[in-house]
Amino acid sequence: MLLVILNQRWPHIYKCVIDGPMEPSSVVIEDGSDDHAATVLEGLLECFTVITSSLGSNSATRKFAKENGKVYLRIAQMLLCIRKKYYGEKHPGLKPSYLCLITIHTFLGNKKQVTEVLKLLNQCEQQEASSTQFFQGVNGDYTTTMITGSMYKLKDHANAFFSSGNYSKALEIYTKILCQSPNDAKLLTNRASTYMKLSQQPGQDSSQNISLALHDSQNAITADPLWVKGYYWKAVCLAHLGERGPSLAAAAVAQHLCPSQCAKIPAVEDRFGSCNSQVVTTVQELLQVTEKRDTRNLVIVVKEGRYELPNPLKLQDNTVMVGLGETQIICSQGIPLKVNKTVYTENITVSPSIESVSMLKEKAKRCLQRGRVDEALSLYSEALHLCPNDPQILTSRASTYLKCAEKKEAIPSERVPSMELALNDAEAAIKADSSWLLGHYFKAVSLTRLDRKQQALAAAAVYKHLSLGRDVPEVTRCHGGLQVQVVESSVELRSVLQQMKNPDGVNQVVLVKEGEYSLERTVEIPQPIIVAGQGNVKISCKIGAPFHFAQAGHVENVEM
């Protein structure tokens, strides 16, 4: 397990340990996580001690030495190199690393190397006897004679001050160490916790200390994205600041990285309630978790990767979504995530982005306000290239095509193509979202201007039904009033068709809801009415055709 961690977090160290292609001293850790890497290496050396002490025979010892000896030797050498980075060549803090190296050389029978390392160990002990006293005690003045690699000793002193409740002195020392090692995630979270303690002290600026703690926790995450305390303290800080979405996001990541220690973060629970964290690794899991009914404090943690959605995904109110690593969500049908102001997302890259499409739409609106219709059309077309099935952009472009047709009113041959394009966009919007009101509205307007009365009335009837009784003014002005009868069963369909009357100046439309209908025999329709289907409608008849109009009638969007 420790080797797995080493491979995932520090692959260059892992490669050196397993393959040994380079000298351990040539491996550099640039992100400030040296201490964490050293801890993992020390754990591996403890495993070596346990294993070798349990070997029962000389043959077993020789076999283990042959198969694994060089690996553990490189682990010890790597640990020593990391410790030397802070302690120098002869510091007493190197003694445990030298002792590990002596143990392994002894096990492998490397007598010459044992002698050489023993000399270095003796030099460390001599340095320890002559080194200047670092720590005068909690109540005395704090003075230090800086020597190579003193940061680990300083950190112990800062920890001691923190434990004793002297947070100001702990802060002073943590800050001094961080000046030398600014990307040490562990030190950053130590200082963050110190700032939080200070925020609770009388006479301290609470909000400023919390802000500083938040800054340190964020820097710790940047330095080491797997350092759980970075997310823990970020969640705590944001909870104190009342930032629900970011706080729950950080708490969910902490819970994922270390469920045993971060299943509950008191400050977050006290402010927002328990965190309902769900981790997803596939598109299917993402779709399933967004269908959950109980979305109270739902936090979706999306593991690193690329997720291609078949259709835009609507996130329920108050949902929090956070990416773990480089996370991209894409959708060829439009903006991948449909969100409102209650939804919070973090570290998620969506393509196309909401920002780029919104910017194009805003530019198009400004062009329309200034009468630059052709420019607006170009911008809406560019937005539709990114989101080809977005009903809002489609109807915006339909409206713009109609404005373009108005400008060409004196030239019918140029007006008609623009109105046909408006109709195409309106129908595409309805196909993308059958309940999109503006799609039906602009379809009715386009058909009216194209002088297709019956089709325009059918479209206006669907709009009137979906909008709970609103008319399309241009349709009623050109073609008269509209009365709509909605049917949802075969029996109701026959009855309504036979009893339909056509008052003067009022157009009658029978709107048949989506589904399959069956009639026993042909229905005689005495009035010139319109039968329009909403959605996929199929009407069959056992004897003859379903309808026979005594006067000119019209059937729209019905399969017979």
3-class SS string, 399-432: HHHHHHHHHCCCCHHHHHHHHHHHHHHHHHHHHH
> Strand, helix or coil at 545?
strand
Measured over the CA atoms of residue 53, residue 54, residue 56 and residue 58, the dihedral's sign is negative
Residue of 180 and 465 predicted with greater confidence = 465
Tokens of 192: 């963050």
> Strand, helix or coil at 21?
coil
Place of tokens 């609103």: 470
pLDDT of residue 125: 57
Under 8 Å between Cβ of 232 and 249 = no
Four-point Cα dihedral 36, 41, 45, 50, nearest 10: 60
Q: Per-residue pLDDT tens for 11-41?
A: 888 888 787 755 555 555 655 577 778 888 8
Considering only CA atoms, which of 236, 240, 204, 197 is closest in space to residue 217?
236
Alpha-carbon distance of 184 to 191, in angstroms, equals 11
> Strand, helix or coil at 384?
helix
Q: Per-residue pLDDT tens for 312-346?
A: 898 989 999 999 988 999 887 778 888 888 999 99
Q: Per-residue pLDDT tens for 158-172?
A: 888 888 888 998 998
Q: Per-residue pLDDT tens for 59-98?
A: 766 777 677 878 888 888 888 888 777 667 777 777 778 8
Considering only CA atoms, which of 219, 158, 215, 154 is closest in space to residue 184?
219
User: How much is the pTM?
Assistant: 0.50
Alpha-carbon distance of 328 to 504, in angstroms, equals 60
Tokens of 345: 């997302």
Mean of pLDDT over the chain: 83
Residue 477 CB partners (closer than 8 Å, separation 6+): none
Name the strands in the sheet holding 481-487, side by side, starting at the edge strand that comes first in the sequence: 481-487, 506-525, 530-549, 554-556
Q: For 236-261, what is the HEC assignment? A: HHHHHCCCHHHHHHHHHHHHHHCHHH
Tokens of 1: 């397990």
Rounded mean pLDDT, 289-299: 81
Angle at 77 between CA 72 and CA 82, to 5 degrees: 125
Residue 400 CB partners (closer than 8 Å, separation 6+): 364, 368, 373, 376, 377, 380
Q: Per-residue pLDDT tens for 352-373?
A: 767 778 888 899 999 999 989 9
Query: Which residues partner with 330 through β-bridges?
Result: 308, 351
Under 8 Å between Cβ of 540 and 560 = yes
% the chain with pLDDT above 90: 34
Measured over the CA atoms of residue 473, residue 478, residue 480 and residue 483, the dihedral's sign is negative
Burial of 469 (0-12, 13-18, 19+ CB in 10 A): exposed
Q: Per-residue pLDDT tens for 390-448?
A: 899 999 999 999 999 888 776 777 788 999 999 999 999 999 888 899 999 999 999 99
Residue 212 CB partners (closer than 8 Å, separation 6+): 192, 195
Rg (CA), the chain: 37
